[in-house]
Structure 1
Amino acid sequence: MSEGEPLVGRVCENGITTLTLNQPQRRNSLSMAMLEALSAELDALAGDAATRVVVLAAQGPTFCAGHDLREIREQFDHPDFQLALFNQCSKVMQQIVALPKPVIARIIGVATAAGCQLVASCDLAVAADTARFATPGVNIGLFCSTPMVALSRNVSRKHAMEMLLTGEMISAARAEEIGLVNRAVDEQVLDETVYRMARTIADKSGHTLRIGKEAFYRQLEMPLSDAYAYTSSVMAENIQAHDAREGICAFLDKRKPDWKD
């Protein structure tokens, strides 16, 4: 990152906004400043009508190495800062889940600890086949307790516990196998794969995407009968919207729908 450049870059094109972690010399670590910058961008995107899909990327050979351990060491004697740091990180992860736009992680290099948490918090993730992932806090005496919240909601308990207890790196292929990422692809076609996925999603009704993403995460935490009752009411409400009626009519009439979002 050159002097004067933002910690998080932002570019919007054709409804797809790319947020780029932009501190490669610090391995794009989640310092307080980086978390605050990312939080501000997510806040801005929540109400941005021009953005239909978000891609989360990073500059340099490391996607995100987790928290900035140098910063943590400097603040050893300030427990209030440590709690504020982890609370801010948790806020950002929840902002990603609550964002009314789909978020796709684009991963090159290593995503460890809170960086792995960042990947797990995104709705979708595509990794270069050379990427690697870990929750290695156990190796330095600081268990990855907050990263495990997102991790355990993406992969099975035993796979999550294996990563958390061993702290070992896993390959992109293994990450795809256990469900941490959607796809592991050759780095040469990473952008093509990510942005083809983003364009496919961006072509949908923004209103429908907002409803669906919120409902997905809410029903996950419910008992089965409650989840069906909730999603039935969501669908009944959804069908009253212009885009649902337009989509059904367009399908039956064999034409392209005219979304109003």
Structure 2
Amino acid sequence: MTQDNAGKDAHARTPTDDPDAAALYSVAGGVATITLNRPDYRNALSVEIVNAIGDHFEAALADPEVRAVLFTHVGNTFCAGADLRAAQPGVPQPTLRYNFVEILEKIMTCDKPVVGRLAGHVTAGGVGLAAAMDISIAADDAIIGFTEVRIGVAPAVISVVCLPKLRRADASELFLEGERVPAPRAAAAGLINRAVSRELLDDEVASTLRRLVRGGPNALAHTKQLVARVPQMPRAQAWEWTAELSQRLFQSDEAAEGIAAFRERRDASWVPPEE
């Protein structure tokens, strides 16, 4: 599989829209796949690509058959951040229907796990997109970096999603130097989850998604809340909130089905059939 085709061919996906669209969308095996599809422009966050991401992500969240969302890409760059062409005078732009900040917030707070497959370079706003996801897996030869200072700006907006994942020392070095670093360095800093060899990337992503869709939909949604909210709570409040949540979940129909499936050594009813 070539890198340019990897985003289209992985997991036997069949795009359901225009193959020339800014981002492609398909659903298989309980996973909605959003493929950034502007390789000639390094999948920069143009109005077209942000609108397409927003449309597809809304579709994935509204579809009860979708249990997890995968972001991937065509070409040698996952996402190069802001589309600098848009800043040129006289270049007409379509209407922006989605705010990038709102997309990042929704990725972090939605009920469904979101996974990133990074088989190429990731810079600037693209790093924020990857950092907002629950699990980001990169090829070990991918290059990741906050390059904003090199063009006279700062990684301001994306710092909101990136800084909670980084030690201050790592954040200072990565933000201030503006260097692009290998994916293993980004993983060691906590910016992404892990880096694997390019040959193993698709298998690693597929295995991760298979594990995720085995979780109960309600359980996954509340587990995302745990990760986001508990570290921000005073300890006494955290004990109270998590105890109440645990009791409520154990009394749910989903838990009854999950426990029955465990005892009967079968898949729970929510696990998608293998294709």
Q: TM-score, normalised by structure 1?
A: 0.89
Q: Give the equivalent residue in structure 1 for 2:256.
A: 245
Is 1:23 matched up with 2:38?
yes
Residue 71 of structure 1 deviates from its aligned partner by: 0.6
Is 1:63 matched up with 2:78?
yes
Is 1:72 matched up with 2:87?
yes
> How many Å separate the matches in 2 of 1:36 and 1:111?
20
Amino acid in the other structure paired with 2:88: R
Residues 97-108 of structure 1: pairs in structure 2 closer than 5 A: 97-108=108-119
Q: Give the equivalent residue in structure 1 for 2:179.
A: 168
Match of 1:74, SS? Answer: coil
Amino acid in the other structure paired with 1:258: A
Match of 1:63, SS? Answer: strand
User: Cα distance 1:184–1:260, how it changes in 2: closer, same or farther (>3 A)?
Assistant: closer
Amino acid in the other structure paired with 2:265: R
Cα-to-partner distance string for 1:53-92 (whole Å, 9 max, x where unaligned):
111001101010000011123389xxxx9xx97x811111
Q: Give the equivalent residue in structure 2 for 1:221.
A: 232
> How many Å separate the matches in 1 of 2:19 and 2:144?
31
| Identity between Structure 1 and Structure 2 (%) | 31
Q: Give the equivalent residue in structure 2 for 1:255.
A: 265
Residue 225 of structure 1 deviates from its aligned partner by: 2.5
> How many Å separate the matches in 2 of 1:71 and 1:33?
11
> How many Å separate the matches in 1 of 2:47 and 2:30?
29
Give yes or no for contact 1:16–1:199 (8 Å, CA) kept in 2.
no
Give yes or no for contact 2:139–2:198 (8 Å, CA) kept in 1.
yes
Amino acid in the other structure paired with 1:183: R
Residue 260 of structure 1 deviates from its aligned partner by: 5.2
Cα-to-partner distance string for 1:164-188 (whole Å, 9 max, x where unaligned):
1111111111111111122211111
> How many Å separate the matches in 2 of 1:224 and 1:105?
32
Q: Give the equivalent residue in structure 2 for 1:47.
A: 62
Residue 254 of structure 1 deviates from its aligned partner by: 5.4
Q: Give the equivalent residue in structure 1 for 2:12.
A: none
Give yes or no for contact 1:135–1:147 (8 Å, CA) kept in 2.
no
Q: Give the equivalent residue in structure 1 for 2:134.
A: 123
Q: Could you tell me which runs of 5 or more consecutive residues in structure 1 were left unpaired when the two chains were aligned.
A: none
The total of aligned residue pairs comes to: 252
Amino acid in the other structure paired with 2:175: L
Amino acid in the other structure paired with 2:103: V
Amino acid in the other structure paired with 2:230: Q
Q: Could you tell me which runs of 5 or more consecutive residues in structure 2 were left unpaired when the two chains were aligned.
A: 5-17
Comparing 39-48 with 103-112, greater Cα deviation is found at: 39-48
Root-mean-square deviation (Å): 2.3
Residue 249 of structure 1 deviates from its aligned partner by: 4.2
Q: TM-score, normalised by structure 2?
A: 0.85
Aligned partner of 1:36 among 48, 51, 74: 51
Q: Give the equivalent residue in structure 2 for 1:5.
A: 20
Give yes or no for contact 2:45–2:81 (8 Å, CA) kept in 1.
yes
